[in-house]
């Protein structure tokens, strides 16, 4: 039988997860999500329509001149303020009280729908219909906010403590939940591991000093328990604390010693034995005598090549950092006065100017041309229409000068 959902197959390889840690949706899951979105929009629209009709009729009885304004303003403000809150999160400007506005409006529209009913079941029906629109808005807001938090890393989803633990051991579970909230421990499994280490450490101290271990144990051995309440793992501090109590750390608290590879001793090099040459095979060494020449002519020294003087390499000209057109105008005046033509092909191109001013490349070229014309008019220099860079510097009396000249 063909299974629609690929990840439900036992022999399929798991899909890669994204930044949020959730595997991407399959094709059928995306199709189901699209149908759910359309159905949620339809349900929310029906709830808005029912709330609009009930509150409008009641507003007419309450003396409103335009009874349709009351439900329209309240019900439409719920998604508006919800989207505004999500945009604040998206722009990294969260505002805590902005989330309270749609919640307050939701309570108001629910109360108005309940008040518009005549009997008990009529009040329940009107309140339930108004909550449909509110529920759709809240689910959409929660989905978008969680995805933004997972992408930016600013909102990490904290695991929930199981209800069975709350029922079976309420007070220790509260202390465990408190440590999760205080030290932002998002993984429930990690918190359980830290709690298990703490219980094992206390059991070792109790076995060494008895029931009064908190009073008899040295201060150095109690310090790791105080540090674990501050979020420091016991694995880092438990070995020293157990040694202070006279207990050799074993098990999970045993210090890990990394194995050191022993270098093998290399064998000593074997020196070759000297070869013995028989006397008959030995040849007499020829002795040569050097007779000094009386009139030995000294060779003339070769003429040395003239030393090449190192030429000074001009340092590249750098323009100061600028942010406004006034600062750019001062830089352009300095460039035109000194003839640094190549700067117009480097940091003063239209694209670079547009990048600083956060505009398009065409606007960057227009800003540069306008500032050049302004300075030319100030200096009394005539520029031809649509002058090129070479024509501009020629008008200012400069030839093409390389950077640093």
| Per-residue confidence in pLDDT tens, the chain, 405 aa | 444 444 444 444 444 445 445 567 788 888 888 888 888 778 777 777 777 877 888 788 888 888 888 888 888 888 888 888 878 877 878 787 887 888 888 888 888 878 877 778 877 877 777 677 677 777 877 777 777 765 555 555 678 888 899 999 999 899 888 888 888 788 888 888 888 888 888 898 888 888 889 888 888 888 888 887 776 778 888 888 888 888 888 877 776 655 555 545 455 555 555 555 444 444 444 444 444 454 445 555 555 545 444 444 455 677 788 778 888 888 888 888 888 877 887 788 888 888 887 777 777 888 888 888 888 888 888 888 777 888 888 888 765 444 444
CB 383 within 8 A of CB 391: yes
Alpha helix (H) ranges present in 3-62? 27-61
For 340, the 3-state DSSP assignment is: strand
In 36-183, the DSSP E strands lie at none
CA distance 161 to 169: 12
Q: In the chain, where are the structural domains located?
A: 27-152, 165-253, 325-395
Would you state the pLDDT for residue 170? 92
Alpha helix (H) ranges present in 269-360? 325-338, 350-357
* Phi, psi for residue 340 in degrees, rounded to 5: -85, 80
CA distance 194 to 172: 13
Q: State the DSSP H helix or E strand holding residue 206, giving kind and residue range, or none if neither.
A: helix 188-209
Among the listed residues 233, 185, 187, the one whose alpha carbon sits nearest the alpha carbon of residue 21? 187
CB 377 within 8 A of CB 396: no
Dmax (CA) of the chain? 143
What are the residues whose beta carbons fall under 8 Å from the beta carbon of 145, sequence distance 6 or more?
A: 86, 89, 155
CB 83 within 8 A of CB 99: no
pTM above 0.95, yes or no: no
For 45, the 3-state DSSP assignment is: helix
Q: How far does CA 16 lie from the centroid of its chain?
A: 20
CB 56 within 8 A of CB 126: no
CA distance 325 to 331: 10
* Structural Rg of the chain based on CA atoms: 43
How buried is residue 125: exposed, middle or buried, by Cβ count under 10 Å (0-12/13-18/19+)?
A: middle
For 401, the 3-state DSSP assignment is: strand
* Phi, psi for residue 112 in degrees, rounded to 5: -65, -40
| Total number of residues shown for the chain | 405
| Helix/strand/coil (H/E/C) assignment for every residue in 343-377 | HHHCCCCHHHHHHHHCCCHHHHHHHHHHHHHHHHH
Would you state the pLDDT for residue 174? 92
Would you state the pLDDT for residue 6? 44
Would you state the pLDDT for residue 268? 56
CA distance 183 to 194: 12
CA distance 185 to 178: 10
In 132-256, the DSSP E strands lie at none
Query: How many Cβ atoms from other residues are within 10 Å of residue 51's Cβ?
Result: 26
Crossing angle between the packed helical segments 120-152 and 100-116, to the nearest 10 degrees: 170
* Phi, psi for residue 401 in degrees, rounded to 5: -110, 130
CB 198 within 8 A of CB 220: no
CA distance 209 to 235: 21
Q: State the DSSP H helix or E strand holding residue 238, giving kind and residue range, or none if neither.
A: helix 234-244
């Amino acid at each position: 039988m063909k299974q629609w959902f690929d990840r439900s197959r036992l022999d399929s390889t798991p899909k890669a997860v994204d930044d949020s840690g959730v595997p991407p949706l399959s094709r059928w899951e995306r199709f189901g999500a699209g149908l759910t979105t359309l159905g949620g929009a339809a349900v929310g629209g029906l709830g808005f329509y029912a709330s609009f009709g009930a509150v409008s009729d009641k507003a007419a009885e309450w003396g409103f001149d335009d009874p349709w304004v009351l439900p329209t303003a309240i019900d439409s403000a719920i998604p508006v303020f919800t989207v505004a809150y999500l945009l604040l999160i998206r722009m990294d400007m969260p505002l805590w009280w902005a989330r309270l506005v749609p919640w307050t409006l939701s309570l108001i529209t629910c109360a108005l729908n309940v008040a518009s009913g005549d009997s008990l079941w009529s009040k329940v029906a009107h309140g339930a219909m108004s909550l449909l629109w509110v529920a759709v808005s809240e689910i959409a807001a929660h989905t978008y906010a969680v995805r933004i938090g997972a992408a930016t890393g600013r909102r990490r989803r904290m695991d929930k403590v199981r209800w069975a633990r709350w029922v079976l051991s309420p007070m220790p579970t509260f202390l465990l939940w408190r440590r999760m909230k205080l030290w932002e421990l998002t993984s429930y499994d990690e918190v359980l591991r830290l709690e298990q280490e703490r219980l094992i450490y206390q059991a070792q101290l109790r076995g060494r000093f008895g029931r009064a271990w908190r009073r008899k144990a040295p201060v150095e051995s109690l310090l790791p328990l105080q540090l674990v309440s501050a979020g420091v793992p016991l694995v880092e501090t438990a070995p020293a604390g157990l040694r202070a109590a006279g207990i050799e750390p074993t098990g999970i608290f045993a210090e890990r010693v990394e194995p050191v590879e022993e270098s093998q001793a290399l064998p000593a090099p074997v020196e070759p034995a000297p070869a013995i040459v028989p006397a008959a095979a030995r040849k007499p060494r020829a002795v040569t005598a050097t007779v000094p020449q009386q009139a030995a002519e000294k060779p003339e020294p070769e003429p040395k090549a003239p030393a090449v003087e190192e030429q000074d390499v001009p340092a590249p000209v750098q323009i100061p950092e600028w942010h406004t057109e006034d600062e750019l105008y001062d830089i352009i005046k300095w460039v035109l006065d000194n003839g640094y033509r190549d700067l117009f092909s480097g940091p003063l191109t239209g694209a670079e100017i547009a990048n600083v001013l956060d505009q398009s490349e065409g606007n960057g070229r227009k800003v540069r041309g306008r500032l050049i014309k302004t300075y030319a008019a100030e200096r009394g220099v005539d520029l031809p229409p649509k002058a090129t860079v070479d024509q501009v510097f020629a008008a200012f009396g400069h030839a093409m000068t390389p950077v640093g000249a």
